[in-house]
Amino acid sequence: MAQGASAVAQKGGESLLFLTDEQLRKGIEAMFFAYRGFTADPDRILEEHGYGRAHHRAIHFIHRAPGTTVNNLLSILGVTKQSLNRVLRALVEDGLVEARVGHRDKRERHLYLTESGAALEQQLSDAQRERMRAAYRAAGPVAVAGFRQVLEAMMDPEIRRHFDRLTESGR
Amino acid sequence: MAQGASAVAQKGGESLLFLTDEQLRKGIEAMFFAYRGFTADPDRILEEHGYGRAHHRAIHFIHRAPGTTVNNLLSILGVTKQSLNRVLRALVEDGLVEARVGHRDKRERHLYLTESGAALEQQLSDAQRERMRAAYRAAGPVAVAGFRQVLEAMMDPEIRRHFDRLTESGR
DNA sequence: CTTGGAAAGTCAACAAGGCTGACATAAGAT
DNA sequence: ATCTTATGTCAGCCTTGTTGACTTTCCAAG
């Protein structure tokens, strides 16, 4: 199976990869179809609770960086504050997220998951991790390392910074 | 760099991968951020033409499988026919897609890109392939193979079938 | 102390692209 | 010949993204 990477030529220490349009197209389609699988399980759970992906993203990153400000979340998610606000308001009203007014700067709202917010986060990430774990197991450790490398290379540099920042603090 | 895959133990021919929640979470976030990069370039081009991602998807798969029926496209894209129809209608009206009535079964419409449709497809896929190519180059051939393996393992089985089917005919 | 500007939130209006329901027409089945 | 199914269309609703205008709160600099 797999047409793999086509050819590699070493030339003065610089490796050249010859990639056909067809191979790249397959990669693009793989990305498209895999993303559908990636979101499928959380989507099902969210629907039961009357939420959408926007809520999931907010919950995920609040869990990941508790006490984050709205503005920080905004730059991670890459949406407008009006858009985020609508989602956040629903989560606060439903008691999944707590927005504490900053003590240093009272304009800021620091966001935390409540107990039930954490419970939903757990449920969502359990489902998503399970799919990820299965895929990782099926593909093997070498493939996983490659997977991560390609994904990181695919990010916009600015977004890559967010990603790396989450990693540092998250370990 | 990278925490890579944690540990592998060979045990009676079956390899066990020990994956921490943290590692899996990183994979999830990588997927999220990378997908943003993945769609960023086409999104910019589409906006200039007044189209969205839905149009891109339709154009992509019509290019990929010329003469495909609406129903077939439906099952690939995983949306309702009403949703697809809106997009398709716009593309036909704008002269990017031609919908020919089937001669065997006149209920069916077979879809083809017109010349200008193919031109837009080219523009979009050039941009997306360029990002893909850069990521592939940066990560190297081994990583690319792993990338593809993990993505394929992440797909829903039913969707995976679509993916494989496109590959067969597409080469 | 006043004022300028940043952070946060609100309201309104709009667009894209999902969805369901109702319906027309063509094919195939009884 | 008529009933049923497949296919595609039209209309309307919902979520979630957008922009723009505006208020409130607060910090900080003049």
CA of B164 to C1' of D5 (A): 29
Is ipTM > 0.90 here? no
Burial zone of B32 (CB within 10 Å; 0-12 exposed, 13-18 middle, 19+ buried): buried
Query: Using one digit for the tens of pLDDT, what is the confidence trace for B105-115?
Result: 777 888 999 99
What are the angstrom distances between the C-alpha of B69 and each of B8, B42, B106, B110? 46, 25, 11, 5
**Whole-number average pLDDT of chain B:** 86
Q: Which of residues 102-131 of A touch strand C (CB under 7 A)?
A: 105, 107-109
Query: What residues of chain A lie within 8 A of the CB of B133, using their CB?
Result: 19, 24
Ranges of H-type helices in chain B: 21-49, 53-64, 70-77, 81-93, 115-139, 141-154, 157-169
Distance CA B159, CA B171 (A): 19
Q: Cβ(B24)–Cβ(A129) under 8 Å?
A: yes
Q: B49 vs chain A: nearest CA distance in angstroms?
A: 21
Which bin fits A62, alpha (ψ -120 to 50), beta or left (φ > 0)?
Answer: alpha
CATH, domain A38-139, list 3.40.50.1970, 3.40.50.970, 1.10.10.10, 2.30.30.100:
1.10.10.10
B29 → closest Cβ in A30, A153, A163: A163
B139 → closest Cβ in A139, A150, A160: A150
Q: Residue ranges of the domains in chain A? A: 38-139
* DSSP reduced 3-state for B15: strand
Q: Cβ(B53)–Cβ(A35) under 8 Å?
A: no
Quote the pLDDT of residue A17.
Answer: 65
Distance CA B43, CA A53 (A): 19
Q: Closest residue of A to B146, CA-based?
A: A143
CATH topology of domain B22-139: Arc Repressor Mutant, subunit A (1.10.10)
What number of C-beta contacts closer than 8 Å exist between A and B?
Answer: 236
Quote the pLDDT of residue B46.
Answer: 93
Q: Which of residues 29-58 of A touch strand D (CB under 7 A)?
A: 50-55
- Tokens 């895959």 belong to B5
Distance CA B22, CA B2 (A): 13
Q: Closest residue of A to B78, CA-based?
A: A36
CA of B145 to C1' of C22 (A): 49
Query: Using one digit for the tens of pLDDT, what is the confidence trace for A9-36?
Result: 444 434 556 788 888 999 999 999 999 9
Nearest to B111 by CA among B120, B102, B119, B124: B102
Q: Closest residue of B to A63, CA-based?
A: B25
Whether the predicted pLDDT of B86 surpasses 70? yes
Query: Using one digit for the tens of pLDDT, what is the confidence trace for A53-81?
Result: 999 999 999 999 999 988 889 989 999 99
